A and B are shown apart, each in its own frame.
Chain A
Amino acid sequence: MEKIRILKEATAGTEEREDCIVRLTPAEPGTGIKVEIEGKSRDIFRDEVIPLIEGTLKGMGVEDALVWSRGRSPLNFTIIARVKAAALKAGELNEA
C-alpha cells in the first residue's frame, strides 16, 4: 500500500451529541500513530476506540500521526468517518 504522509494539522467533526472531533497532526517518520482521547467515557471505551482509530488510519496507509479526539458518545461509523475526513484534509490523499 502507498504510504500516506500527514502533512498538516487538520480537524473533522463537531462537538454535538453523538459526534466527535478528531484532530490529526504530523508526526516524525517512524514514530507510529499515537492516539489521545478526551471525553466522559474515555476510560470505558478507549480499548475499543484507539484500535478503531489506528486501524482506520492504517487502512488509509497512514503510518505516522498524532491523533487527538474528544467525543460525546459517537457510534463507530462516526469515529471512522471523522478520522477519514481529518486524514483526507491533512494528507495527500485521493478520496476515491
Chain B
Amino acid sequence: MRLRRSRLYVPGNNPKMIPPAGLYGADVISLDLEDSVSPEYKLDARMLVSEALKVVDFGPNVEVTVRINPLSTPFGRWDIRQIVCSKLDGIYIPKVETCEDVLRVDDLLTEMEEKKGLEIGRIKLFATFETAKGILNAKEVAGCCGRLEGITIGAEDLTADLGGERSSDGIAIHTSRQLVVLAAKAAGIQAIDTVYSDFNDMDGLRRETETIKKMGYDGKACIHPSQIEVIHEVFNPTQEEIEYSVRVKHAIDEAKEHGSGVIALGKKMIDRPIAIRAEKVLARASAADIPIPTWESIKEKMEKSEGGI
C-alpha cells in the first residue's frame, strides 16, 4: 500500500524551494511546472526541475512527482521529454477531460522510457479533473490506463468552470468530490483531494481533511509545509483504532484456528466490512511507521482496566 496522505506542491522555477522539499515529511512532492509558473518561465522551470531530479536527494520515502502542463498547450510535450528519468516516480496531468488526455501522456511516457532505457511503466500517472466535463468522465478515465494510480480535483479551476464560488464548506465541489471518490474506488485506485488554500487556517484545514477522509479520500494536496502535520494527524489511524483492529484480527485468527464460522469480539459479531476496515487500519498504520501493539500487550492492558476484555 503506497501512502499518499499528503502531497506538497513545490513551485518548479524556485531553486531555493526545491532541494529541501523532501525534508518536510510529505508522502508525495509535486514539482510544479503548471500553474505556479508563468508562460515566459516555462522553459526555465522545465530545465530546473530536470536538473534537480538528477542530483537532489529528496529522501528514501517520498514519492517524487512532477505536475506537467497539459498536452493541449505548447509546453506539455516538452515537459515529458525533459523530465523523464530514473528519479521520477510519477506525473500529475492537469485539466484531464477524457481518457485520451491520459493515454496520450502514457504513450509519450512509454516512448521516453524506451529511449532513455528505463523500466517501462514504473513512472505512475495521476489525473486531475478541473472541469465539469472532466468530472463527468471520471468513471471512464479512472480505469483507462494501467499507470494511473490516483485521481484528484483542481478546486479553483473546477469552481470557476461550474460558475460556483469557493467557500469553506466546499459546497460548490461537493458532488464532484463524491463522483471522483466513487470513480477512484470503482477502479481500485486512490482518490486524492485538492488543496486547502488558506494555509493560516489550520482549523479549517483540519475540518476539510476530516470531511474528505470520511468520504473515502486517501490523501490531500497542500501548498505549504505547515499543512502536512495536520493532514497526517487526520489520516493516521488513532491508537484506539489500531488496538481495536488488532483485537479484530486476533478474533479472526482464533476463529480460524478453531474452525469456527462465527467470529465475535466480546458480544459483537465481526462481519466482513469490520474485518476489511481492521485490515486497512493496520496496513495504514504500518505504512505510516506507527507502532502496532501485540495482542498480548493489549490483553494485558485491558485486564488491568476495569472493563476487562
Chain A: residues with CB nearer than 8 A to chain B? 12-14, 16-19, 74-78, 80-82, 84-85, 88-89, 95-96
Contacts and interface: CB of A to CB of B under 8 A. Distances in A.
A1 B43 CA distance: 23
B82 interface: yes
B15 A75 contact: yes
A69 to B, nearest CB: 14
Q: Which 9 A-B pairs have the closest CB atoms?
A: A96-B81, A81-B51, A18-B16, A78-B15, A81-B48, A81-B47, A77-B51, A85-B47, A85-B44
Contact of A77 (B13, B56, B78): B56
B78 A96 contact: yes
Given A18-B16, A19-B15, A96-B82, A77 B43 contact: no
Contacts of B52: 77, 81
Contacts of A12: 43-44, 47
Nearest to B49: A81
A56 to B, nearest CB: 10
Contacts of B15: 16, 18-19, 74-75, 77-78, 81
Nearest to B56: A77
Contacts of A17: 16
Query: By CB atoms of chain A within 10 A, which of B15, B44, B48, B82 has the most?
Result: B15
A81 B51 CA distance: 6
B21 to A, nearest CB: 13
Contact of A14 (B13, B19, B43, B51): B13
Nearest to A96: B81
B262 interface: no
Nearest to B78: A95
Interface string B42-84: 0110111011101110000000000000000000001001100
Contact of B47 (A19, A74, A88): A88
Contacts of B55: 76-77
A94 B43 CA distance: 12
A13 B44 contact: yes
B81 A89 contact: no
Given A19-B15, A75-B19, A88 B43 contact: yes
B19 to A, nearest CB: 7
A84 B51 contact: yes
B77 to A, nearest CB: 9
Nearest to B116: A96
A16 B48 CA distance: 14
Contacts of B14: 16, 19
Query: By CB atoms of chain B within 10 A, which of A77, A78, A82, A95 has the most?
Result: A77
A20 to B, nearest CB: 9
A56 B171 CA distance: 51
Given A12-B44, A16-B15, 18 more contacts: A12-B43, A12-B47, A13-B44, A19-B16, A75-B19, A77-B55, A77-B56, A78-B15, A80-B51, A81-B15, A81-B44, A81-B48, A84-B47, A85-B46, A85-B47, A89-B43, A95-B46, A95-B81
A19 B14 CA distance: 8
A17 to B, nearest CB: 6
Contacts of A84: 47, 51
Contacts of A75: 15, 19
A15 B50 CA distance: 20
B43 A82 contact: no
